[in-house]
């Protein structure tokens, strides 16, 4: 385990922070915890005082829950940018705003499920990897995995795809859903992939069902859940803080955000 941690630290230390970065929050399958993880990423940026350094793009247009919770005011006015990754000729340029924004700030993109082919096609036809090198933009894909075989196979497919092979992948082990990650030790192909220089790992720690359910049902940011008068008790708030702090510790170690 120490060797694995040292390798992870060496990878992090060798990471050169680009001028700006694009953070694609992915999971490919529905129900893997992608939206929850994206909300924690945004909460992290707010807590760390990075709000002015990032733009948020909602591309899950069928269920824009992250945009609704974090960037929609009480009157229902949206304060976020929408983009669609699609292969339809008339809409192909919709996702271009992601790279345009990255010329000025780092960008967090909430991706919908089942979008892999459209995203990789956007990379390929626009030569995004070449352009990113020219513009000094780092591209990261945070792949939230629920431990299921199909989820792991989708991660492998993404990492091995020639169209996006040079982007930084982060394998996010969602312990909220699945807590027996010894599967990594049993999957030699996955272990080999995770040892690559441009692949990182982090744990998305367990989060108690009661608090998770109440935060989701109330469409609350974590800051609102922790605020005075939110209706959450002392210990309930402490469980939320413990969850956030554990996740933040993982994000701090990676040091991939602005």
Task: Please give the average per-residue pLDDT across 35-59, as a whole number.
Answer: 96
Taking 60 as the threshold, does the pLDDT of residue 201 lie above it?
yes
Give the pLDDT score at 32.
Answer: 83
pLDDT band at 236; cut points 50, 70, 90: very high
| Angle formed by the axes of helices 234-254 and 2-14, nearest 10° | 70
The tokens describing 246, both together, are 């554990």
Give the pLDDT score at 184.
Answer: 79
Taking 50 as the threshold, does the pLDDT of residue 67 lie above it?
yes
Taking 70 as the threshold, does the pLDDT of residue 8 lie above it?
no
pLDDT band at 11; cut points 50, 70, 90: very low
Taking 50 as the threshold, does the pLDDT of residue 171 lie above it?
yes
Buried b (16+ CB within 10 A) or exposed e, 96-110: ebbbebbeeebbbbb
Percent of the chain that is helix, strand, coil (3-state, to 5): 50, 15, 35
Across the chain, mean pLDDT equals: 90
Taking 80 as the threshold, does the pLDDT of residue 251 lie above it?
yes
Which ranges of 15-64 would DSSP assign to H, the alpha helix?
34-47
Taking 80 as the threshold, does the pLDDT of residue 18 lie above it?
no
């Amino acid at each position: 385990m120490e060797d694995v941690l040292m390798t992870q630290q060496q990878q992090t230390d060798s990471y050169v922070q680009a001028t700006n970065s694009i953070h694609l929050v992915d999971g490919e399958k529905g129900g893997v915890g992608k939206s929850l993880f994206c909300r924690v990423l945004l909460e992290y940026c707010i807590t760390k005082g990075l709000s002015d350094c990032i733009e948020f793009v909602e591309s899950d247009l069928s269920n824009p829950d992250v945009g609704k919770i974090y960037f929609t005011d009480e009157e229902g006015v949206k304060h976020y940018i929408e983009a669609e990754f699609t292969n339809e000729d008339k809409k192909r340029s919709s996702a271009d705003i992601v790279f345009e924004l990255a010329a000025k700030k780092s960008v967090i993109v909430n991706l919908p499920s089942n979008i892999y082919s459209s995203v990789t096609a956007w990379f390929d036809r626009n030569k995004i990897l070449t352009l990113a090198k020219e513009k000094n933009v780092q591209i990261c894909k945070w792949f939230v995995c629920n431990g299921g075989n199909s989820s792991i196979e989708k991660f492998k497919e993404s990492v091995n795809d020639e169209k996006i092979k040079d982007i930084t992948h982060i394998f996010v082990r969602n312990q909220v859903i699945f807590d027996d990650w010894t599967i990594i030790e049993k999957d030699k192909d996955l272990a080999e992939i995770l040892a690559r220089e441009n692949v990182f790992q982090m744990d998305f720690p367990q989060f108690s069902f009661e608090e998770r359910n109440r935060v989701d049902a109330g469409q609350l940011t974590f800051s609102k859940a922790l605020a005075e008068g939110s209706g959450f008790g002392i210990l309930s708030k402490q469980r939320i803080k413990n969850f956030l702090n554990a996740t933040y510790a993982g994000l701090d170690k990676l040091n991939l955000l602005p």
